[in-house]
A and B are shown apart, each in its own frame.
Chain A
Amino acid sequence: MPQNTPGPDPSKTAPAPTPATPPRPAVRLSGLTRRLPSGDRVLTIVDDVSLTIADGEFVAVLGPSGSGKSTLLALMAGLDRPSAGSVEIDGEEIQDLSEDRLALLRREKVGFVFQSFQLLGNLTARENVLLPLELARAAEPGRRADEMLAAVGLAERGHHYPSQLSGGEQQRVALARAFAPRPPILLADEPTGNLDSATGGRVLDTLSDLKGRLGTTLVLVTHDPAVAERADRRIHLRDGRVERIEGGPAGAPGPA
Chain B
Amino acid sequence: MRPRLYLDLVRRESRGARGRMVFFAICLAVGVAAVVSVAGMSASLDQGIRGQARQLLAADLAISGRQPLPPETGERVTAAGAIDRVDLRETVTVVAAPPGPDGAPGPSQLVEVKAVGVRAGDDEPGAGYPFYGELRLRPDRPLAALLDAGSAVVAPELLRRLDLEVGDELRVGGEAFRVAGTVLGEPDNLRVGFAVGPRMFLSLDGLVRAGLVQQGSRVIYRTLVRMPEATTAPELAAAVEELRGELAPTWRVESWREAQPALRQGVRRVDRFLALVALLSLLVGGIGVAQTVRAWLASRLDAIAVLKCLGVRPREVLALYLGQTALLGLAGSLLGMVAGVAVQVALPHLFPDLIPVELVHPFQPTALARGLVLGLGVAVLFSVPPLVTALRVPPARVLRSDAQPLPLARGIYAAAGAALAAGVVAMATLQSRSLALGLAFAGSLVAAAALLALAGWLLIRAVGRLRDGGAGHQEGPRSRRALYLRHGLAALARPGSSTLSAVVALGLGTLVVLAMSLVERHLVSQLDADVPADAPSVFLVDVQPEQWPGVRRLLDDNGAEAVDSVPVVMARISAIDGQGLADLAEEEGLDGGPAADGGANDGDADDGDSDRRWALTREQRLTYMDELPEDNEVVAGTLWADPERAEISVEEDFAGDLGVGLGSVLAFDVQGVPLELTVTSLRSVDWGTFGINFFFVVEPGVLDAAPQQRLAAVRLAPEATQRVQDQLAAEYPNVTLIQIRQILEKIIAVLQRISLAVRFLGGFTVLAGIAILAGAVSASAARRGREVALLKTLGFTRAGVAAVFSVEYAALGLVAGAIGALGGGALAWAVLTGPMELEWSWFPAPFFAALAGMTVLAVAGGLAASAGALRRRPIEVLRREV
Which residues of A line the B interface, CB within 8 A? 1-4, 36, 70-71, 73-74, 77, 79-80, 99-100, 103-108, 112, 114, 118-123, 127, 131-132, 134-137, 177, 189
Q: Give Cα A132–Cα B202 distance, bound, in whole angstroms.
A: 87
B794 interface residue (CB < 8 Å to A):
no
Judge whether A189 and B307 touch: CB under 8 Å.
Answer: no
Judge whether B12 and A122 touch: CB under 8 Å.
Answer: yes
CB distance from B323 to the nearest CB of A (A): 15
Q: Give Cα A134–Cα B9 distance, bound, in whole angstroms.
A: 10
Judge whether A2 and B309 touch: CB under 8 Å.
Answer: no
Q: Which A residues are in CB contact (< 8 Å) with B799?
A: none
CB distance from A99 to the nearest CB of B (A): 5
Q: Give Cα A73–Cα B2 distance, bound, in whole angstroms.
A: 30
Judge whether B396 and A134 touch: CB under 8 Å.
Answer: no
Binds A, one of B36-44, B111-119, B311-319, B626-634: B311-319
Q: Which of B395-432 contact A (CB under 8 A)?
A: 395-396, 398-400, 403-404, 406, 408-409, 412
CB distance from A100 to the nearest CB of B (A): 5
The answer to whether A79 and B399 touch (CB under 8 A), given A103-B308, A106-B310, A127-B12, is yes
Judge whether A134 and B315 touch: CB under 8 Å.
Answer: no
The answer to whether A107 and B310 touch (CB under 8 A), given A121-B16, A122-B303, A135-B5, is yes
Judge whether B311 and A107 touch: CB under 8 Å.
Answer: yes
B242 interface residue (CB < 8 Å to A):
no
Q: Which B residues are in CB contact (< 8 Å) with A103?
A: 308, 311-314, 316
Q: Residue of B at shortest CB range from A130?
A: B8
Judge whether B399 and A189 touch: CB under 8 Å.
Answer: yes
The contact string, 1 if C-beta is below 8 Å from chain A, for chain B 292-311, is 00000000001101111111
Q: Name the residue in B303, B306, B404 with the highest tally of chain A Cβ atoms < 10 Å from its Cβ.
A: B306
Q: Give Cα A134–Cα B8 distance, bound, in whole angstroms.
A: 10
Judge whether B313 and A122 touch: CB under 8 Å.
Answer: no
CB distance from B6 to the nearest CB of A (A): 10
CB distance from B319 to the nearest CB of A (A): 9
Judge whether B318 and A1 touch: CB under 8 Å.
Answer: yes
CB distance from B19 to the nearest CB of A (A): 13
Contact partner of A120 among B1, B307, B311, CB < 8 A?
B307
The answer to whether A79 and B310 touch (CB under 8 A), given A121-B303, A122-B16, is no
B762 interface residue (CB < 8 Å to A):
no
Q: Which B residues are in CB contact (< 8 Å) with A131?
A: 9, 310
16 contacts between A and B (CB under 8 A): A36-B404, A73-B399, A79-B309, A79-B395, A79-B396, A103-B311, A103-B313, A103-B316, A104-B313, A106-B310, A120-B306, A121-B16, A121-B303, A122-B12, A134-B2, A189-B399
A-B pairs, top 7 by smallest CB distance, nearest first, are A107-B311, A2-B409, A122-B15, A79-B396, A103-B313, A106-B311, A122-B16
B84 interface residue (CB < 8 Å to A):
no
Judge whether B398 and A114 touch: CB under 8 Å.
Answer: yes
Q: Give Cα A118–Cα B1 distance, bound, in whole angstroms.
A: 22
Contact partner of B5 among A74, A80, A134, A177, CB < 8 A?
A134
Q: Which of B853-874 contact A (CB under 8 A)?
A: none
Q: Give Cα A171–Cα B391 distance, bound, in whole angstroms.
A: 27
Judge whether A79 and B16 touch: CB under 8 Å.
Answer: no
Further 5 A-B residue pairs, CB within 8 A, beyond A79-B395, A103-B308, A106-B395 = A2-B391, A100-B315, A105-B311, A107-B312, A118-B398
Contact partner of A137 among B2, B15, B313, CB < 8 A?
B2
Judge whether B398 and A79 touch: CB under 8 Å.
Answer: yes
Contact partner of B13 among A107, A114, A122, A177, CB < 8 A?
A122
Q: Give Cα A72–Cα B398 distance, bound, in whole angstroms.
A: 14
Q: Which A residues are in CB contact (< 8 Å) with B308?
A: 99, 103
CB distance from A155 to the nearest CB of B (A): 21
Contact partner of B314 among A100, A108, A118, A177, CB < 8 A?
A100
Q: Which B residues are in CB contact (< 8 Å) with A73?
A: 399
B394 interface residue (CB < 8 Å to A):
yes
Q: Which A residues are in CB contact (< 8 Å) with B306?
A: 118-120
Judge whether A104 and B311 touch: CB under 8 Å.
Answer: yes
Q: Give Cα A112–Cα B397 distance, bound, in whole angstroms.
A: 13
Q: Give Cα A36–Cα B402 distance, bound, in whole angstroms.
A: 12
Q: Which B residues are in CB contact (< 8 Å) with A120?
A: 12, 303, 306-307
Q: Residue of A at shortest CB range from B397?
A: A79
Q: Residue of B at shortest CB range from A2?
A: B409
Q: Residue of A at shortest CB range from B412?
A: A2
CB distance from B153 to the nearest CB of A (A): 74
Q: Which B residues are in CB contact (< 8 Å) with A74?
A: 396, 399-400, 403
Q: Give Cα A77–Cα B397 distance, bound, in whole angstroms.
A: 13
Judge whether B309 and A106 touch: CB under 8 Å.
Answer: yes
Q: Residue of B at shortest CB range from A190?
A: B399
Q: Which B residues are in CB contact (< 8 Å) with A112?
A: 309-310, 398
Q: Residue of A at shortest CB range from B407?
A: A2
Judge whether B315 and A1 touch: CB under 8 Å.
Answer: yes
Q: Residue of A at shortest CB range from B304?
A: A120
Contact partner of B1 among A4, A71, A135, CB < 8 A?
A135
The contact string, 1 if C-beta is below 8 Å from chain A, for chain B 62-75, is 00000000000000
Q: Residue of A at shortest CB range from B391?
A: A2
Q: Give Cα A107–Cα B314 distance, bound, in whole angstroms.
A: 13
The contact string, 1 if C-beta is below 8 Å from chain A, for chain B 814-829, is 0000000000000000
Q: Which B residues are in CB contact (< 8 Å) with A108?
A: 311
Judge whether B313 and A132 touch: CB under 8 Å.
Answer: no
The answer to whether A80 and B403 touch (CB under 8 A), given A103-B313, A137-B2, is yes
Judge whether B16 and A114 touch: CB under 8 Å.
Answer: no
Q: Name the residue in B8, B311, B394 with the highest tally of chain A Cβ atoms < 10 Å from its Cβ.
A: B311
CB distance from A133 to the nearest CB of B (A): 10
Q: Name the residue in A73, A79, A136, A137 with the highest tally of chain B Cβ atoms < 10 Å from its Cβ.
A: A79
Q: Give Cα A3–Cα B407 distance, bound, in whole angstroms.
A: 10
Q: Which of B100-149 contact A (CB under 8 A)?
A: none
CB distance from B308 to the nearest CB of A (A): 6
CB distance from A129 to the nearest CB of B (A): 11
Q: Residue of A at shortest CB range from B400?
A: A70
CB distance from B2 to the nearest CB of A (A): 7
Judge whether A2 and B2 touch: CB under 8 Å.
Answer: no
The answer to whether A3 and B303 touch (CB under 8 A), given A79-B395, A114-B399, is no
Q: Which B residues are in CB contact (< 8 Å) with A104?
A: 311, 313
Q: Which A residues are in CB contact (< 8 Å) with B8?
A: 134
Q: Give Cα A25–Cα B408 distance, bound, in whole angstroms.
A: 33
CB distance from A219 to the nearest CB of B (A): 13
Q: Give Cα A169–Cα B9 distance, bound, in whole angstroms.
A: 23
Contact partner of B409 among A3, A71, A80, A132, CB < 8 A?
A3
Q: Which B residues are in CB contact (< 8 Å) with A135?
A: 1, 5, 310-312
Q: Give Cα A123–Cα B302 distance, bound, in whole angstroms.
A: 14
Q: Which A residues are in CB contact (< 8 Å) with B316?
A: 103
CB distance from A159 to the nearest CB of B (A): 13
Judge whether A100 and B313 touch: CB under 8 Å.
Answer: yes
Q: Residue of B at shortest CB range from A124?
A: B12
The contact string, 1 if C-beta is below 8 Å from chain A, for chain B 456-481, is 00000000000000000000000000
The contact string, 1 if C-beta is below 8 Å from chain A, for chain B 267-311, is 000000000000000000000000000000000001101111111
Q: Give Cα A99–Cα B307 distance, bound, in whole angstroms.
A: 13
CB distance from A68 to the nearest CB of B (A): 12
Q: Give Cα A77–Cα B315 distance, bound, in whole angstroms.
A: 19
Q: Give Cα A74–Cα B309 distance, bound, in whole angstroms.
A: 10
Q: Which A residues are in CB contact (< 8 Å) with B391?
A: 2
Q: Residue of B at shortest CB range from A114?
A: B398
The contact string, 1 if C-beta is below 8 Å from chain A, for chain B 752-788, is 0000000000000000000000000000000000000
Q: Give Cα A137–Cα B308 distance, bound, in whole angstroms.
A: 16
Judge whether A2 and B408 touch: CB under 8 Å.
Answer: yes
Q: Residue of B at shortest CB range from A75?
A: B396
CB distance from A213 to the nearest CB of B (A): 21
Q: Give Cα A105–Cα B308 distance, bound, in whole angstroms.
A: 11
Q: Which of B552-588 contact A (CB under 8 A)?
A: none
Q: Give Cα A108–Cα B312 distance, bound, in whole angstroms.
A: 11
Q: Give Cα A104–Cα B310 distance, bound, in whole angstroms.
A: 9
Judge whether A79 and B394 touch: CB under 8 Å.
Answer: yes
Q: Residue of A at shortest CB range from B14?
A: A122
Q: Give Cα A74–Cα B16 distance, bound, in whole angstroms.
A: 28
